[in-house]
Amino acid sequence: MAGSVPPGAARPGGDGRIRIAGISQRFGDVRAVDDVSFDIESGELLTLLGPSGSGKTSLLRMIAGLAKPDAGEIWVGGQRIDQLPTHRRNIGMVFQSLALFPHLSVFGNIAFPLWMRRCGKRETAARVREALEVVRLPQIAARRVDEISGGQRQRVALARALVYRPKLLLLDEPFAALDAKLREEMQLEIIRLHHDLGITIVNVTHDQKEALTISDRVAVMSEGRLRQIGTTVEIYQRPNSAFVAGFVGTTNLLHGAVAAGGEILVLADSIRVPLGGDKRLAPGAAAALVLRAERLTLMPAEAIIPADLASLPGMVRLRAFQGNTTLFEVEVVALGRSLRAETTSLSEASRFPVGTAVSLTWRPQDAALVPV
């Protein structure tokens, strides 16, 4: 069977360790999830990151038991769960809609999973108090959920998912509808909870900043397939494809062909830029150079470029102050396109108004090379 654990392979160990083995799901002719396999360590926070339709939510729903895979296996804590009903998986989940009951108090909402498990009154009360302490809301148990703030409702939903002490917590874009400030606060709350509880968490989002902020590792998906999995630093600094590079961060992709012993990338009109020793691709291979916006520096057009820097001439066409950063769009006529650069320096930002001729510079070792 596709995705079966090979004979003799080690079974997942630890209460919260997860193994996704060859999971596929189809809707008619559409492959929502296409032969996805990876492991998640116990106590790890992993984010499934991708655009709409990438398969990340479909995969999360199969882990939760809300949908069934057409092929493959899902293991949690050494137990195969893809054939178990949802209520027997001991998994907590927070939905984007939160799904709180408006007719119940905060206490009732958090206690509901315990009532379904027929916990005694004393144990239920103790666990609800404990869950409210964990999310730092011990004072609101008697209030109705429509009487508390959006951030408090988020925490109540978290408390409800944690109250029965699951081995795994699933987060299905629970912060997507929040304003920017509250979303940032809740991201920090997840980091704190993860550190304090040590629980395994699988988070789903299309927000690359959120993924990089809260995760131990990130699994990037598109068109139902796993494109790359790695630490946040690996995903950001060493993307394995043009898709991953373009989806994560503010990125410029320069397309060309590798030449000169693998040390030069030839761009349009035979423009040659150094590769900084990245020789993963053979001469003649089609490739793209990944230039992060914050790695680009603007210099006056008449300035002498240091020998250890690569550069392209251009003209500032847009300058946008964004608070802690300033974004530039620089037209590079030789490439027939604009590149984006970011700086945190207010003095640098003020030196280059729109219409200024500049050189865009970068250290070759700060750029990554990916196949196309």
Q: How confident is the model at residue 277 (pLDDT cuts 50, 70, 90)?
A: low
Strand runs (DSSP E) across the chain, as ranges? 18-27, 30-40, 45-49, 71-76, 79-80, 91-94, 168-172, 200-205, 217-222, 225-231, 251-259, 264-266, 272-274, 286-292, 297-300, 310-321, 326-332, 337-343, 357-362, 368-371
Average pLDDT for residues 21-37, to the nearest whole number?
A: 96
Q: How confident is the model at residue 176 (pLDDT cuts 50, 70, 90)?
A: confident
The Cα 254–Cα 266 span in angstroms is 10
- Helix, strand or coil, per DSSP, at residue 227: strand
The Cα 85–Cα 72 span in angstroms is 16
Average pLDDT for residues 215-226, to the nearest whole number?
A: 98
Q: How confident is the model at residue 168 (pLDDT cuts 50, 70, 90)?
A: very high
The Cα 94–Cα 162 span in angstroms is 10
| pLDDT for the residue numbered 279 | 64
Q: 241 with 228: CB under 8 angstroms?
A: yes
Neighbours of 346 (CB within 10 A): 10
| pLDDT for the residue numbered 14 | 43
Q: 30 with 178: CB under 8 angstroms?
A: no
In sequence order, the β-bridge partners of residue 228 are 220
More confident residue, 209 or 12: 209
| pLDDT for the residue numbered 286 | 92
| pLDDT for the residue numbered 3 | 37
Average pLDDT for residues 214-233, to the nearest whole number?
A: 98
Average pLDDT for residues 61-69, to the nearest whole number?
A: 96
- Integer angstrom CA distances of residue 261 from 57, 258, 275, 285, 369: 43, 8, 11, 11, 14
